[in-house]
Copies of this chain bind each other. A is one copy, B any other.
Amino acid sequence: MKKKMNIVVVGLGNIGSYFYNYLRKNKKILFNKTNTEPNIVYVSAKSLGKKRNLKIPKKLWLKNCLSATKMKNVDIIIELIGGADGIAKKLVVQALSNKKHVITANKALVAKYGNQLAKIAEKNRVNFEFEAAVCGGIPIIRSIKEGLIANNISKIYGILNGTSNYILTSMDKDKLEYKDALSRAKELGYAESNPASDINGEDVASKLKILTALSFNSFINNKSIHIEGIKDIDQTDINNANQLGYKIKLIGIAELLNNKIIQRVHPALIKNNLYIAKINGVLNAVIAESKPVGQTVLQGEGAGAGPTTSSLISDLCSVLRGNIKFPFVISNIKRKIALFETINNKKFSVYLRLDVKDKHGILSDIAKVMAKNKVSIKRLIQNPTENKKNSSIVIITHHAKSLSLVKVVQTLKNKKYTVSKPKLIRIEEI
């Protein structure tokens, strides 16, 4: 008899609809590749009435998705609702507890409750898979868990959010102001109507926390992570960066320094000849530095229904093959209680931009503030601003402690001669 597994798809938005159609059309080829037939027994979604361009037989509709977690003939639940809490969490917890395999694209959920969910999955010997939660179609999770399993990863980083990268690219290439670049991203469907999490760094942070736990065999750490978004960056910064030979990118980095993990998400100035500086538009790229393999780069589409479905199907095939794996590479009891550290003591060379009144003695005062905090100047450019009443001072500092640099900014912010909030963008040599 043909082996098959029964699937319930919950959530039929953009991704859910694409996934449903894909799975129906490709049932046979997936059977040929896994020896097990993926059989959709139910679908469930909030608004059944909404026109979705989908032909779903009435008998497949399930009113209450939670009931699927108790049905004997259900093997796999695909959670495509979204949101860290609410119904998505309830569904996943109940499904795993009732020995159903779970596949999700929900990065907020995995980042927030991944430790707990992995524990339930392991206890019940079912799969909890989330390739689609990180970087759309790039098979980064499977690569860490399988392709690079031999390696000790010391650093994992990259461009993990297509929306913000599209905005920064448009600001750079087309000289758009931030708000115009954001509008265009919305028009083209690259940004959601509420793009807050893409822009404030939270989306990158969720992905980075998941990658960190996978890379360092640690637990997900939601507390110790530095997060900055891109909304303060303007054309002047983009221009300044270009003149200095840099591009501005929103990056996520997790690295092991002195046996402590530092997680951070922030815009960074990257030398324009480096690989990361050339990742433009909605592309994502992830770079892992590890031993014995060295540097590995994965680049691809970071979002969209097609790429996300590619990842969901990859997870599904892993389940169909009957290959139960630890959700985070390693058993919960073997995961490390890793030490995490803030960025306060990490040293950075940074770009400081100070818009000040054009008066005598200001430069010397700025230099004094910096010296007091042990921050030294590597390069300084002073230009009058457009209205000519003020000056814009751009400073590239030598390496200094992050905390000291932040103190410089705070002190300068309160000076009477400062006309707008000083900016600090870290320079990254990656």
Mark A residues whose CB is within 8 Å of B. 18, 22, 26, 30, 32-33, 35, 131, 137-139, 142-143, 146-151, 275, 278, 291-301, 304-307, 309-314, 317-318, 321-323, 325-326, 329-331, 334
Contact = CB atoms under 8 A, between A and B. Distances in A.
A6 to B, nearest CB: 19
Nearest to A149: B317
14 contacts: A22-B150, A32-B330, A137-B292, A138-B296, A147-B314, A148-B314, A150-B312, A150-B317, A275-B278, A294-B304, A294-B306, A295-B301, A296-B299, A323-B323
A33 B150 CA distance: 10
Contacts of A299: 296-299
A83 B148 CA distance: 26
Contacts of A142: 142-143, 146-147
Nearest to A139: B147
A137 B301 contact: no
B300 A300 contact: no
Given A147-B147, A294-B306, 11 more contacts: A18-B292, A22-B150, A32-B330, A137-B294, A142-B146, A143-B143, A150-B310, A293-B300, A295-B300, A297-B300, A321-B323
Contacts of A131: 147
A363 to B, nearest CB: 40
Nearest to A131: B147
A183 to B, nearest CB: 25
Contacts of A150: 22, 26, 30, 309-310, 312-314, 317
Contacts of A325: 321
B306 A296 contact: no
Contacts of A313: 149-150
Contact of A292 (B295, B309, B329): B309
A298 B309 CA distance: 19
A137 B148 CA distance: 8
Given A293-B137, A293-B310, A146 B317 contact: yes
B26 A314 contact: no
A33, A138, A311, A325 pick with most chain B CB within 10 angstroms: A33
A146, A311, A314 pick with most chain B CB within 10 angstroms: A146
Contacts of A317: 146, 149-150
Given A32-B330, A33-B326, A148 B310 contact: yes
A283 to B, nearest CB: 9
A114 to B, nearest CB: 18
B294 A297 contact: no
B149 A33 contact: yes
